[in-house]
Amino acid sequence: MPPLPEILSQLNDDMRANDTWGDVAAYIPELARVDPAQFAIAVTTDDGDVFTAGNADTAFSVQSITKVFTLAIALGRSGDQLWRRVGREPSGRAFNSIVQLEQESGRPRNPFINAGAIVTTDEILTGREPRDTLAEILQFVRAAAGDDNIHINHSVAASETAHGHRNFALAHFLASCGNLNNTPEKALGTYFHHCAIEMSVRQLAMAGRFLIETPKFPRMILPQRIRRLNALMLTCGHYDGSGDFAYRVGLPAKSGVGGGILAIVPGKASIAVWSPGLNRYGNSLKGTQAMASLARAMGWSIF
């Protein structure tokens, strides 16, 4: 097997050789302006080494990938009580589906679809102000990455606030079912802002280390919780494309509409990939291809 840096460099060349990049997320105007023809990948191993290829230091909007961090915080705060408000099953529906939430009386299927992440955010927000909640989320992400130079892009948050009609519909429906402790505006304001955190693939791969479960990295959450987060990433991390991603890649992972994907090789590595063009499920097109190639080349799979 060639060494990892060579594999990543070859992968970068392969991804750029083909001109089908997918479509950027159009429903958030700030994201619609991003050039889709970009690619970056970073791998952090359990030894603490980082290998990268492509635009590895370009910051991008991590969007739904923050749902992994907010879930870790919410479970740390509320424990199993959280599951009274949100389920743990794959949705088989689009990330922003409204119909399923109504059919299931306002209890979202899982914490990674939008409705579930709004509930998780609301749980962390309860009894506190959005500013303090966002500071805690940022602090967690920065500590995980070992990097204080990670910020929220306020233009992206404002853009989503102005155009996030579906998320407002979901939040108001949750409130009508008694499944929001805060006003929809407050819960969504916090949710849009944590989704607007920006990181490079290098920073994101570093931030993913807390999910590797290795004694070599300072423990941020309980080992049992790491396994459970990984289980949810595998079954629910790619919305209605989760089964396909598990089949092709075989690793727990979480995607975001900014075109990023964070994947974990338990006990071994954390991988971040970014390419802003999306496939029909709203997951990075080239990011998914690259994850599949890397997993194959390295023999990485949980199966």
**What's the CA angle centered on 10, arms 242 and 197, to 5 degrees?**
50
Size, binding site for ligand GLU by CB under 6 A: 11
Residue 39 vs 192, nearer CB to ligand GLU: 192
Among 121, 243, 255, residue whose Cα is nearest residue 191: 121
Is 247 one of the annotated active-site residues of the chain? Answer: no
Residue 169 vs 297, nearer CB to ligand GLU: 169
Q: Torsion over CA of 4, 6, 9 and 11, rounded to 10 degrees?
A: -70
Of 12, 38, 45, 96, which one interacts with ligand GLU (CB under 6 A)?
96
Q: Does 64 bind ligand GLU (CB under 6 A)?
A: yes
Minimum separation from the CB atom of position 248 to ligand GLU (A): 19
Residue 46 vs 160, nearer CB to ligand GLU: 160
Is 281 one of the annotated active-site residues of the chain? Answer: no
Helix (H) or strand (E) holding 140: helix 130-145
**Could you give the CA distance from residue 140 to residue 178 in angstroms, rounded to a whole number?**
29
Minimum separation from the CB atom of position 126 to ligand GLU (A): 20
Cα 38 to Cα 23, 62, 258, 279: the distances in Å are 12, 15, 12, 15
Q: Does 95 bind ligand GLU (CB under 6 A)?
A: yes
Catalytic residue among 43, 67, 255, 270: 67
Q: Does 43 bind ligand GLU (CB under 6 A)?
A: no
Of 186, 282, 284, 287, which one interacts with ligand GLU (CB under 6 A)?
282
Report yes or no: 228 and 235 within 8 Å, Cβ to Cβ: no
Is 239 one of the annotated active-site residues of the chain? Answer: yes
Helix (H) or strand (E) holding 199: strand 197-199
Of 38, 91, 167, 214, which one interacts with ligand GLU (CB under 6 A)?
167
Among 301, 263, 260, 264, residue whose Cα is nearest residue 283: 260
Contact set for ligand GLU, span 212-271 (CB under 6 A)? 256-257
**Could you give the CA distance from residue 277 to residue 243 in angstroms, rounded to a whole number?**
20
Of 30, 123, 160, 198, which one interacts with ligand GLU (CB under 6 A)?
160
Catalytic residue among 61, 64, 200, 284: 64
Minimum separation from the CB atom of position 221 to ligand GLU (A): 22
Minimum separation from the CB atom of position 183 to ligand GLU (A): 17
Among 261, 268, 275, 266, residue whose Cα is nearest residue 302: 266
Catalytic residue among 24, 62, 191, 270: 191
Is 27 one of the annotated active-site residues of the chain? Answer: no
The token duo for 276 is 């802003």
The token duo for 237 is 């991390």
Binding site for ligand GLU (CB under 6 A): 63-64, 95-96, 114, 160, 167, 195, 256-257, 282
Q: Catalytic residues, which ones?
A: 64, 67, 191, 239, 257
